[in-house]
Amino acid sequence: MTFLTVVIRGLLRRPVRTCLTLAGISIGIAAVVALVGMSRGFEKGWQVGLKARGTDLVVSSRGGSLTPKPFNASIRDQIARLPGIAATCNLLVQVTSVEDSDLMILSAREWGGFSWSNLKLVTGRMPQSGEEQAVVLGQTAADILKKKVGDPIQIETAELKVVGIVKGGALVEDGSVIMSLALLQKILASPDQINAIDVRVTPGTNEKQLQILIQQIQRQVPEVRAVSVADHLSNSEGFRMVRAMTWGTSLLAVLVGVLGVMNTMLMTVFERTHEICVLLAVGWKRSRIIQMVLYESALLGFFGGVIGVTIGALGVRALGETPALRGLLQPDLGFPLLALSVLIAVAVGVFSGLYPAWRSSRLAPSQALQAG
C-alpha cells in the first residue's frame, strides 16, 4: 500500500462528509471567481472604453461613488489653456434605469468633441445637432432595449428618438445610450454640470511629461483630480469600495470552507485513532503522520478549488448574459485569477489541516490497544 493510497483511502472513508466538505470549499472559491471576475471585468470594460475614445487623461471630481459627482463645466476652460493639451471633451455619465433596463449607461458628450469620433455607424445616422431630441444606441444597448432606428426612447421625463445604432469599439461603448451633453443637461435641469472631462495630450508626450501635466492640472484646479486612463479606476473611491466589498464577501465565503475542512479532518483523526496508532507502532514517524493529514486536507482544497473555479466561471458567464448586466461588463476570467483561486483553496486546505495534523501526531502507539 503506497502513501498516496493511504491518503486517498482516508478521504473516501466517509464519502458523504467528504462531498459536503468539497461543496463548502467550492462555494467559497466560486464566490471568489465570480465576484472578483465581475469586478475586474467591470473595471477593464471602462478602461477599454476610455482608450477607444482616444482619451489620455480623465479629469473628475474628488470623491464620489461609481460615477463621479458633477462639477461646473467652466473648469474645462481652465484646463484647456495648459500647454501639452491637444483636445478636451466634457461628459456627463450616469448609470441608471432606462425603460425596461434597470442598469444602463447614459453617456452625454459635448457636441463636436473628440469623444464622438470613435463611434462607427451600423445603421441610421448621427444626431444633426446638439439640440436635436435624438440619441444613438450602442449595438448591445439597442439589443437590450429592443430598439431600432426610428423608435422612441424614454430618458427620464423626455421622449427622444433613436436615430442611429453605432459600434464603439468597446463593451461599455456598445452598451451605452449616447446623446449630446446639452440635451441631457436640459432633461436633468442641470445646466453647465458635467462629471468628467476627457483629455487628449499632444502626440509624442512621454510618461514623465504626462505626470508633469497632471501636476499642473492639479495646481490649476485643485478641486478636481486628473489621472491617466490606467490609473483612473484604481483612484476611484467607488471602484475601491466595490473591490473591498468583493474581497470581503469572498473571504467570508472562504472562511466557511476553512471551518468545514477543519471539522472534517478533526473527525477523521478521531475516527482513525486506531489506524494512526498502528502506523506509529509499525515505524511511521510522527512527521509522516502530519504529512498524511496535510496531504488529505490539501487534496480536499485542490479538488474543491477546481470544482469552485468551474462553477464560478460558468456562473459569472451566465450572469454576464442577463439583461440586468449585459453591456455593463465582460467578466475577466483570465488564467491568473483561476490559478490564484485554486491556490487559495489549497492554502485553505493546508491551513485547516494544521491543528488536526498536530493532534494526530500527539497520539501514542499504545493507544492502539485502547482504541481497538
83/109 same-domain check: yes
pLDDT at position 65 over 70: no
Same domain, 79 and 205: yes
Domain identity same for 243 and 337:
yes
pLDDT of 67 over the 80 cut: no
Tell which of 160, 187, 222 closes a domain: 222
**Does residue 113 sit within a domain?**
yes
Residues 74 and 199 in one domain: yes
Mean pLDDT of 213-224: 88
Q: Has residue 298 been placed in a domain? A: yes
CA distance 183 to 307: 50
Q: Do 259 and 364 belong together in one domain?
A: yes
Task: Determine the distance from the C-alpha atom of residue 6 to the mean position of all C-alpha atoms in its chain, rounded to a whole number.
Answer: 41
Question: What value does the mean pLDDT of the chain take?
Answer: 82
Same domain, 25 and 99: no
The answer, yes or no, to whether residue 242 has pLDDT greater than 90, is no
Boundary residue ending a domain (187, 222, 257):
222
Please say if the pLDDT value at position 371 is more than 50.
no
Indicate whether 217 belongs to any domain: yes
- Per-residue pLDDT, averaged over 205-223, amounts to 88
Q: Which helix (H) or strand (E) holds 124?
A: strand 120-124
CA distances from 330 to 34, 94, 179, 323 (A): 12, 19, 23, 13
Mean pLDDT is highest, among 114-118, 278-282, 329-333, 354-358, for: 114-118
Would residue 128 count as lying in a domain?
Answer: yes
Question: Are 205 and 343 in the same domain?
Answer: no
291 lies in some domain: yes
The verdict on 34 and 69 lying in the same domain is no
Query: Per the structure, how many domains does the chain have?
Result: 2
Q: Are residues 67 and 133 in the same domain?
A: yes
Provide the grid cell at 332: 475577466
Final residue of a structural domain among 158, 187, 222: 222
User: Which residue type does 133 have?
Assistant: Q
Chain centroid offset of residue 207 CA: 27
Q: Are residues 244 and 144 in the same domain?
A: no
- Answer whether residue 51 is part of any domain: no
Domain of 187 in residue numbering reads as: 63-222
Q: Is residue 293 part of a domain?
A: yes
> Is 21 a domain residue?
yes
Between CA 285 and CA 279 the distance in angstroms is 9
Q: Are residues 19 and 103 in the same domain?
A: no
Residues 214 and 89 in one domain: yes
